[in-house]
Amino acid sequence: MHIYNIHDAKTNLSRLIEEIVNGGEPFVIAKAGKPLVKVVRLEAEAPKPVRRIGFLKGQIKVPADFDTMGAGEITDLFEGKGA
């Protein structure tokens, strides 16, 4: 593993990162000869599956009277006749 001082790392950072991305080895950045950080390539996260509209199609049944279900009870509640 190669060690670069801070000045060299700043000067050549783009090149050093490109080398790592293309399969090169990680490197260490040092200050006054003392290692400070190790630069390594991150593994890309697996893409999340795409959520699709209609994924429950055929698994849920909506009653034919859905629009009028409970209409009487709702009317009673609004008119103060319920509860």
CATH number of the domain that residue 27 is part of: 3.40.1620.10
When divided into structural domains, the chain yields a total of 1
Q: What is the pLDDT of residues 31-82, one digit of tens each?
A: 999 999 999 998 877 888 888 898 888 898 888 999 999 899 999 999 988 6
Its pTM stands at 0.52
**Residue 14 is assigned to a structural domain of this protein:** yes
Q: How far apart (Å, rounded) are the C-alpha atoms in residues 40 and 29?
A: 11
Q: Domain span at residue 34? A: 2-39
pLDDT in tens, 6-32: 999 999 999 999 999 898 899 999 999
Which residues make Cβ contacts (< 8 Å) with residue 30, sequence separation at least 6? 3, 4, 5, 6, 36
